[in-house]
Amino acid sequence: MTYVASASYHERPSSHWTGWGQWIALVTMTLDHLARYLATDAWHLGWVDSSVGRIAFPLFAGMVAWHGLFNTRDPLRYARRVMIIGLLAQLPYQLMPREALFQLNICFTLALGLMAGHWLEQLTRRQEAGELGHVRLALETLGVATGWYFAGFWVEYGHHGLLLVPFFMLGMGQLHRTDDALLSRLLAVVGCLPLLLVAGMMNSSDMAKSVTVATVLAVLLLAAGAHRLCRAPGIVMPRRMWLAWYPAHFAVIAAILLWTGNAQIM
């Protein structure tokens, strides 16, 4: 994907931190899935899901929101690419044992969230340009809200998960545009509150909630200026590895589950 500075931002922030984020997200996600789908109760690895496993999704959402805001030329095209990865991963993902008979994987959650976040980011510009009347705004808002409501029953992390990327984009955008004025800083804080609220509501255990909120806060600090302190990792993740890992690791886990007779067959 070709990255360019967004026209909405005069200074594109450094994205070096996302190089570290990629490694952390893939490692924590893989550990979570290995512990959740392959480990038996005798291994006593349930703590992985409530701790390390709660880092991956908010980190993925933060990186998707970051690229959607600051780097990609076409957020909707970016969302479609994420959804293609989700389509490739859906069959092995469906073989994972779970309560729901059918569920769309996390790529669909991220892609739909990015589409909603892009729509939200463009509202002000479109209103100022006279492209969006009150009736059209109401109809679009109703359409997005309806889509969120129905999609939330089918995607991983549900309704709360769908809100993470658009609320990340809202908070990041406000933090990036803030200046030294008190009102500007207050608006930046207010812009982050919906994200923190949703992050705190996403999990059941106190540990899982704490890890999720802490991960979200870390990404927000990067958006607030800490990104300037990050250098690119010494070993950059190969692009093919980044794109293929999600469906590939599910394919390996699914093969093991089929071999052991523990796969979920509809």
pLDDT tens digits, one per residue of 246-263? 999 999 999 999 998 777
| 161 or 185: which leads in pLDDT | 161
261 Ramachandran zone, left/alpha/beta (phi>0; psi -120 to 50): left
| Side chain identity at residue 195, one-letter code | L
The model's confidence at residue 239, banded by pLDDT at 50, 70 and 90, is very high
Alpha carbon 254 to chain centroid distance?
23
105 Ramachandran zone, left/alpha/beta (phi>0; psi -120 to 50): beta
Let me know: does 50 contact 207? Beta carbons within 8 Å: yes
Q: Is the pLDDT of residue 58 over 90?
A: yes
Structure tokens that stand for 53 in this block: 């496993």
Distance CA 97, CA 106 (A): 16
Average pLDDT score over the chain: 89
| 185 or 34: which leads in pLDDT | 34
Q: The pTM is what?
A: 0.91
Q: What is the pLDDT of residues 76-89, one digit of tens each?
A: 999 999 999 999 99
- The Cα-based distances of 20 to 75, 152, 187 in angstroms read 22, 30, 29
Q: What is the pLDDT of residue 88?
A: 97
- The Cα-based distances of 256 to 39, 92, 218, 264 in angstroms read 12, 11, 35, 12
Q: What is the DSSP letter of 238?
A: P
Q: What is the pLDDT of residue 166?
A: 97
Residue carrying structure tokens 């967004």: 6
Distance CA 102, CA 81 (A): 22
Structure tokens that stand for 147 in this block: 């889509």
What average pLDDT does this structure show over 86-110?
93
Alpha carbon 210 to chain centroid distance?
17
Q: What is the pLDDT of residue 10?
A: 52
154-160-165-171 Cα dihedral, nearest 10 degrees: 170
| Side chain identity at residue 127, one-letter code | Q
Distance CA 260, CA 88 (A): 23
